[in-house]
Amino acid sequence: MLKDITLGQFYPGDSLVHRLDPRVKLVLMVVYIAMVFLVEGFLGYLFLAAFLAVSAFLSRIRIKFLLRSIRPVLFIVVFTFVLNILFTRGDHPILEWGVLHITWEGVRFAVFMSLRLVFLLAGTSLLTLTTSPIALTDALERLLKPLNALHFPVHEMAMMMTIALRFIPTLLEETDKIMKAQTARGADFDTGNLLQRAKAMVPLLVPLFVGAFRRADELAMAMEARCYHGGRHRTRMKVLRVSRADGWACGATAATLLLILLERLL
Amino acid sequence: MPVEVRDLTHTYNEDSPFAAAALRDVSFAIEDGEFLGVIGHTGSGKSTLIQHLNGLIRPTSGTVIVNGLDLSDKSTDLRRVRRRVGLVFQYPEYQLFEETVQKDIAFGPRNLGLDGDEVQRRVEEACALVELPFAAVRDKSPFELSGGQKRRVAIAGVLAMEPEVLILDEPTAGLDPAGRDAILALIRRWHEGGRTIVMVSHSMEDVARLADRILVLDHGKKAMEGTPREVFADAGRLQEMGLDVPAATRLARELSDRGFDVPRDLYTLEELEEALLRAFGEGGSAC
């Protein structure tokens, strides 16, 4: 039940997209998000779709898997679509019935908004699917390094993120195990009203918290035993290097951005 | 309450790149009042197997039939099965959650919908079974107890449901020898009441001491099945699977290899003692 969450999941592989420098991917993702919001016409969406399709193809991730990440927010997409179609005013009505005014502008706007959401999700999912959480936090640490000058604890933040991400699967597993154990003792998590369900969570949450604190304590001890000591002067086992593929990726993104801007201006 | 498992196959994360076959075509049956030991290397599918026996996970294919109820059938009410098949997970002390020991043990029986007096009777009885001084621990927080005591409280929580089939996953893992002996003794006592037990273990000694029959799993498949004597007779095969035979069997085989007159298929300390006395003691030929 808990294993169905694909949002933010990593899909191990060795494709061109997987091998890109995570820093580059992160920066390009910011550019991509900007593009999603810059696009204004059908042609622009076409460019964006082509860009995403090529990236997805190169990542060798099955489309089915990529689309699955949209499922949890499908409701929001549909909601946005309906709201926009109903409440956008325009001059070219298609249907007028009582208080309902559906216009060409409304349809156009609704389609674009929904597409925007889908593109946003598909793109960001592609990033997390092809980049391990560790690589991502590594990249984030490098990119945020300038903030060190402002005495912002970049390394500590990155380390905390790494640890948090590292323990998500562990905690999910633990939740699953405790849930099963309490189910075996007759606990019922699925039926009853809201209050009963909230109460039913107690036998799950108490052991989970106790376990999380125990683990945190053990981890801190283990890190200290291995002389872990903060950020400065630490060397890295995996040094990030920008390769030629990263250059191509930047080029492709820049080209798409240019096309989208051109469409917007012309 | 007979249990029958037929062609049981389970695949985790089917249809994803993380798909892993945990069990493949496993078939066996458990008779009433039997003590079945399940052994296998880490990742051989033992834990997956026992979770099928009370419907915590459903088979990918194959059937599990408990007392005539088919657990692979979606319309079966699994709660009816769960109140009769008790499952003690590995490190069960991590499930304790109540404020007091008494309340924690009562959690299972109360979920069965029993009235207060019956719950109280069962809690006290379960405490006696696991040899916890009820008066002394009833109002203590379970988190104040020692590791071995916590485990006994957790086991008592399942025993208080009075299951007809009791399944235990590595009940002695991580305990000191005294704690281990205490747990094994209580399992034996429970079994002597005529109840069915399935015990998963890494320890060949524990299984040899208690089980009537042993099921050996290897990479999700049933590799061997038989009485301890039959299974431990094939030491070579067990070692290939990363398992071992009890120390008594190992010693007997070594001696036998060196020409002493010691049977190769004994597996308990008592048998070993007897055989050694016969071979080396008074009237023995070896010394």
Q: Do B89 and A211 touch (CB under 8 A)?
A: no
> Could you tell me if B158 lies within 8 Å of chain A, comparing CB atoms?
yes
pLDDT values of chain A reduced to their tens digit, one per residue, 266 residues: 444 454 467 888 888 888 899 999 999 999 999 999 888 888 888 999 999 999 989 988 888 778 777 887 888 889 888 888 888 777 777 777 777 778 888 888 888 888 898 899 889 888 988 888 888 888 988 898 888 888 888 888 888 888 888 888 888 889 999 999 999 998 888 877 888 888 888 999 999 999 999 999 999 999 999 988 776 677 777 788 888 889 999 999 999 999 988 888 87
A210 touches chain B (CB under 8 A): yes
The angle formed by the CA atoms of residues B92, B93 and B98, to the nearest 5 degrees, is 115
Helices A133-144 & A22-38 angle (0-180, nearest 10): 80
What chain A residue is nearest to B142 in terms of C-alpha separation? Answer: A207
* Residue appearing with tokens 């899909």: A11
Nearest Cα neighbor of A33 from A60, A58, A51, A12 is A51
B278: part of which helix (H) or strand (E)? helix B269-280
Whether B17 contacts chain A with CB within 8 A = yes
Whether chain B has a CB inside 8 Å of the CB on A59: the answer is no
> pLDDT digit string (tens) for B38-82?
999 888 899 999 999 988 988 999 999 998 888 888 888 888 888
Nearest to A203 by CA among B127, B185, B276, B98: B98
- Nearest by CB to residue B108, choosing from A177, A186, A202, is A186
Find the mean pLDDT for residues B158-171.
Answer: 94
Instruction: For residue range B208-263, list pLDDT tens digits in order.
Output: 889 999 999 999 999 999 999 999 988 889 989 988 889 899 999 999 999 888 88
Residue (of A9, A45, A51, A1) closest to A28 by Cα position = A51
Contacts of B87 in chain A (CB under 8 A): 181, 184
Asked if residue A256 lies in contact with residue A35, where contact means CB atoms within 8 angstroms, the answer is yes
How far are the Cα atoms of A208, B117, B144 from residue B106, in angstroms, in the given order?
Answer: 20, 11, 18
| Closest CB to B107 among A3, A180, A185 | A185
Cα B155 from Cα B92, distance rounded (Å): 7
B157 near A CB under 8 A: yes
Chain A residues 4-23 with a CB less than 8 Å from chain B: 11-12
Q: Is B10 on the interface with A (CB under 8 A)?
A: no
Backbone angles phi, psi at A223, to 5 degrees: -70, -40
Q: Is A185 on the interface with B (CB under 8 A)?
A: yes
Measure the CA–CA gap between A207 and A213, rounded to whole angstroms. Answer: 10
A-interface mutation test, from B14, B16, B53, most A Cβ less than 10 A away: B16
Residue B287 has pLDDT above 50, yes or no: no
Q: What is the DSSP letter of B112?
A: T
Give me B30's structure tokens. 């458990």
**A to B CB pairs, distance under 8 Å:** 56
Q: Using an 8 Å CB-CB cutoff, list chain A residues near B97.
A: 202-203, 206-207
B260/B281 Cα distance (integer angstroms): 13
Decide if A177 and B89 are in contact by the 8 Å CB cutoff.
yes
Q: How far is A181 from chain B (nearest CA, A)?
A: 7
Q: How many angstroms separate the CA atoms of B76 and B81, rounded?
A: 9
Residue B101 exposure: Cα atoms within 13 Å on the Cβ side:
27
For the stretch B34-71, what's the b/e string if a residue is b when 16 or more beta carbons lie within 10 angstroms of its beta carbon?
A: bbbbbbbbeebbbbbbbbbbbbbbebbebbbbbeebeb
A186 touching B, CB under 8 A? yes
CB contact under 8 A, B56 and A11: no
Rounded distance, CA B264 to CA B249, Å?
7
